[in-house]
Amino acid sequence: MFITIHAAAAAVIGKKVTNPYLAFILGFVLHFAGDIIPHGDEQLGKKFFGLDISNIFQPETKLKFMALYGSLDACALVIFLLFLFRNFTFANSDSVTWAMIGGILPDILVALYQLGKFRILKGFSEFHNWNHHLLLKRIKSDIPLQYGLLLQVAAMALLIWLIYVF
């Protein structure tokens, strides 16, 4: 899932869980639950609008391509955070902040491993990857990226609705 979805799901947790330590842990754990759901990003950096690009680019170009996707996701996250903090007083609580940090931290740690190959993060990155593929192994393939994007837009709409009513 995009980090924006993880942050939104964590904001819902942080709204209801007043203990920031527990909110952090729940946000962290919920990240892995969200990543189990097939969401179409398996082909990121391998295909672009259906065209196979896996053999075209060198590894460093693939990394730049992934950085572009990550940058777009980070922009969406900033927009979501602006929306959240400008419209909801609960968003100023420590539990919301720590739940969101817990919700996006796994992807940050994996990115640090991918960029710097820090040995201390290798096991965590492998676990994250294993978790990400838990259901994909059973169904033998990911959903197409365009459906994954629609799924995540729908998930974001649902999460924003939950923020309003929950």
Per-residue pLDDT for 64 more than 90?
Answer: no
Contact status, residue 45 vs residue 65, Cβ threshold 8 Å:
yes
Per-residue pLDDT, 38: 78
Q: Which of 20, 4, 9 is nearest to 92 (CA)?
A: 20
Render pLDDT for 94-125 as a digit per residue (tens, 0 to 9).
Answer: 999 999 999 999 999 999 998 888 999 999 99
**Is the Cβ–Cβ distance between 40 and 147 less than 8 Å?**
yes
- Assess contact for 63 and 25: CB atoms under 8 A: no
**Residue scoring higher pLDDT (148 or 162):** 162
Name the residue ranges covered by the structural domains of the chain.
Answer: 3-165
User: What proportion of the chain, given as a percentage, has pLDDT over 70?
Assistant: 87
Say which range, 17-26, 52-61, 132-141, has the weakest mean pLDDT: 52-61
* Confidence tier at 37 by pLDDT (50, 70, 90): confident
Q: How confident is the prediction for the chain on average, in pLDDT?
A: 86
pLDDT band at 10 (very low <50, low <70, confident <90, very high): very high
pLDDT band of 147, cuts 50, 70, 90: confident
Quickly state the pLDDT bin for 166 (edges 50, 70, 90). Answer: confident
Task: Give the Cα separation of 158 and 39 in Å (integer).
Answer: 15
- When pLDDT is averaged across residues 85-94 and rounded to a whole number, the result is 91
